[in-house]
Amino acid sequence: MFVTTPKFIQALFPSLIWRKETQDKRIWLTFDDGPSPNVTPWILSVLKKEKIKATFFLVGQQIEKFPELAGAIIKDGHTIANHSYSHKNGWLTNKEKYLEDIESCQALMPNNKLFRPPYGKITKGQISVLKEKYKIILWDVLSYDFKQNTSPKIVQENIIKNTTAGSIIVLHNNKASFKNIYPILAKVIQQLKKEGYVFSTTW
């Protein structure tokens, strides 16, 4: 179980963005899935209190169900981005269907230039088409908040111990992960601030 994506995997897919080059202690906080009526308003309240911005990779089906929540994310000054329409696994989906699914989500956010593959699973053939239109954003710090047999403390440690300048951190904006992020999100942000990190949404 890798928290930080190994360098050899990053090297195999050089056209994907695993982390960002930065001259200062800038980091990128991202939330996958959603919007979710149980979780999104709470995440937004924490981010507002901590005065930071994040990037939300949203699922098209969820945007259609909860358009007002997608609007609230934008209104608060955060960045929204494409996480596909129906959260398809790229390894298990043929290229045409996968690309159609992404474009269905893109129709809901036409000015967007960012895409994150669900589960981080994407083929070289899919990459070759998508990289012409999108920056394909992966990560270098996976918190494992989605694992049901983990704990908030482990999620917190995964982030704090592995974040470095340029890190892209993944958390989840869904009901399944809520029990793991609810006790620690504000603490993680505060600790990273104490360590001198600055949160960015400039891709």
> Is 187 within the bounds of a domain?
yes
Instruction: Measure CA 81 to chain center.
Output: 9
Collapsed DSSP state (helix, strand, coil) of residue 170: strand
Give the containing element (helix H, strand E) for 79: strand 79-82
172 a catalytic residue = yes
Catalytic residue among 24, 32, 33, 101: 32
Tell the burial category of 191 from Cβ atoms under 10 Å away from its Cβ (0-12, 13-18, 19+).
Answer: middle
Q: How many domains does one find in the chain? A: 1
16 in a domain, yes or no?
no
CB 139 within 8 A of CB 169: yes
Find the helix or strand (DSSP H, E) in which 60 lies: helix 60-65
Q: For the beta carbon of residue 3, count every other beta carbon within 10 angstroms.
A: 17
Where in the sequence is the domain holding 174, given as residue range(s)? 24-199
What is the structure's pLDDT at 188?
98
Q: Which two tokens stand for residue 6?
A: 């190994």
Residue 36 and residue 56 in contact, taking contact as beta carbons nearer than 8 Å: no
pLDDT value at residue 117: 98
Which member of 33, 83, 101, 172 is catalytic? 172
Place of tokens 């980091």: 27
Residue that is written with structure tokens 């955060």 in the block: 78
CA dist 25 and 144 (Å) reads 23
In a domain, 47, yes or no: yes
163 is a domain residue: yes
Q: What is the pLDDT along the chain (203 residues), one digit of tens a residue?
A: 667 776 656 666 778 999 999 999 999 999 999 999 999 999 999 999 999 999 999 999 999 999 999 999 999 999 999 999 999 999 999 999 999 999 999 999 999 999 999 999 999 999 999 999 999 999 999 999 999 899 999 999 999 999 999 999 999 999 999 999 999 999 999 999 999 999 999 99
Residue 24 annotated as catalytic? no
Q: Is residue 2 part of a domain?
A: no
CA distances in angstroms from 75 to 39, 107, 149, 171, 173, listed in the order given? 17, 19, 35, 21, 17
Token code pair at residue 151: 């704990």
CATH of the domain at 76: 3.20.20.370
Whether residue 160 lies inside any domain: the answer is: yes
Residue 62 lies in a domain: yes
Quickly tell me which residue has 């600055």 as its tokens: 198
Does pTM surpass 0.85?
A: yes
